[in-house]
Amino acid sequence: MSAIAHGDGQRHGDHPPAAHASSRVPPVLVGMYLFIASEAMLFGSFFAAYFFARVSVGAETWPPEPFELPVFLALLNTIILVTSSFTIHWALQSIKRDDRAGLIAGLGLTFLLGLAFLLIQAREYTRLGFSPRDLGFGSTFYGLTGLHGLHVFVGLTLLAIAFVRAVRGHYSARNHQGVELPGIYWHFVDVMWIVVYTTVYVI
């Protein structure tokens, strides 16, 4: 009975079916966007923890006495990170025009800016005067900024790989997914920082 259904099994020869392309977006990009969505939920949970602590402590001022946050240092960091979003965009646009020097310069600059951000944050941590053990405030502050710092670190790793590959000439106008993917991640890390900065330092 099943022979009927499969009568034409061999009609097209022994080739596997043609490559599937049921979406115009390449698989790795779809995968990256989905991953970013899950990352957003991860940050969302940390924000939930932050606001829960903020509300449940019930302090009049935030940060609660006697803690203080270096708002201007963090603003400097914000400017650094936002700038790095432009430099990575420049790198991607360069390689799309087959401008390899622009790509390398853009990636290198982005990496240095990201590194500067992390170093400034590390310095900030050492001088804050409170630790993650200091009440819900200390826990959630370090939780949120630490989670973001971890993401900057991962982003730097990806950028370093892309940089080495760029120097070795792996990318071209037609093949630059290895720049595009870290770029998406890096933009996400930047946007998250703006939200973290606004939440933790400004309001």
Partner 1 sequence: MAVRVEEQVLPTWKDGAVMRWVTSVDHKKIGLIYIWSAFVFFVGGGSMALAIRLQLAQADQEIATQGSFNALTTMHGTVMVFLFAMPLLAGIGNYLVPLMIGARDMAFPRLNALSLWIYMIGAIVLLGSFGAKGGAAQAGWTAYTPLSGPDYAPELGQDLWILGLHLVGISSLLGSINFLVTIVNMRTQGMSWTRIPLFVWSMVAQSILILLTIPVIAAALLLLLLDRQAGTSFFLPDGGGSAVLYQHLFWFFGHPEVYILVLPAFGIVSEVIPVFARKPIFGYKAVAFSSLGIALISMIVWGHHMFTVGLGDGLNGFFMVATYLVAIPTGIKVLNWTATLWRGNLTFRTPMLFAVGMVALFLIGGLSGVVVANYPVDYQLHDSYYIVAHFHYTIIGGMVLGIFAGLYHWFPKMTGRMYDERLGKWHFWLFTLGFSLTFVPQHMLGLMGMPRRVYTYDREGLFEVYNLVSTIGAWLMALAVLIFIVNVVRSWRSGPRAGSDPWLADTLEWYASSPPAEHNFDSVPYVASHRPLRDLRRRLGGERDG
**Among 50, 104, 114, residue whose Cα is nearest residue 82:** 114
Tokens 């590959």, residue located: 165
Whichever of 57 and 194 has its CB closer to partner 1, that residue is 57
Whichever of 107 and 152 has its CB closer to partner 1, that residue is 152
Cα separation values, 19 from 6, 30, 78, 174, Å = 22, 17, 44, 19
Whichever of 15 and 168 has its CB closer to partner 1, that residue is 15
User: Phi, psi (5° rounding) for residue 139?
Assistant: -60, -50
Query: Residue 174: enclosing H or E segment and its boundaries?
Result: none
Least distance CB 5 / partner 1 (angstroms) = 5
Least distance CB 90 / partner 1 (angstroms) = 29
Cβ of 157: how many Cβ atoms within 10 Å?
A: 11
Least distance CB 22 / partner 1 (angstroms) = 4
Which positions lie near partner 1, rule CB under 8 A?
1-18, 20-23, 25-27, 30-31, 34-35, 37-39, 41-42, 44-46, 48-49, 52-53, 56-57, 132-133, 135-140, 142-143
Q: Which two tokens stand for residue 70?
A: 């270096």
**Most distant CA pair in the chain: distance in Å?**
81
Contact 163, 108 (CB under 8 A): yes
Least distance CB 82 / partner 1 (angstroms) = 25
Least distance CB 89 / partner 1 (angstroms) = 25
Whichever of 87 and 140 has its CB closer to partner 1, that residue is 140
Whichever of 14 and 169 has its CB closer to partner 1, that residue is 14
Whichever of 53 and 166 has its CB closer to partner 1, that residue is 53
Cα separation values, 158 from 28, 141, 186, 197, Å = 15, 26, 9, 23
Q: Which two tokens stand for residue 72?
A: 């201007």
Least distance CB 73 / partner 1 (angstroms) = 23
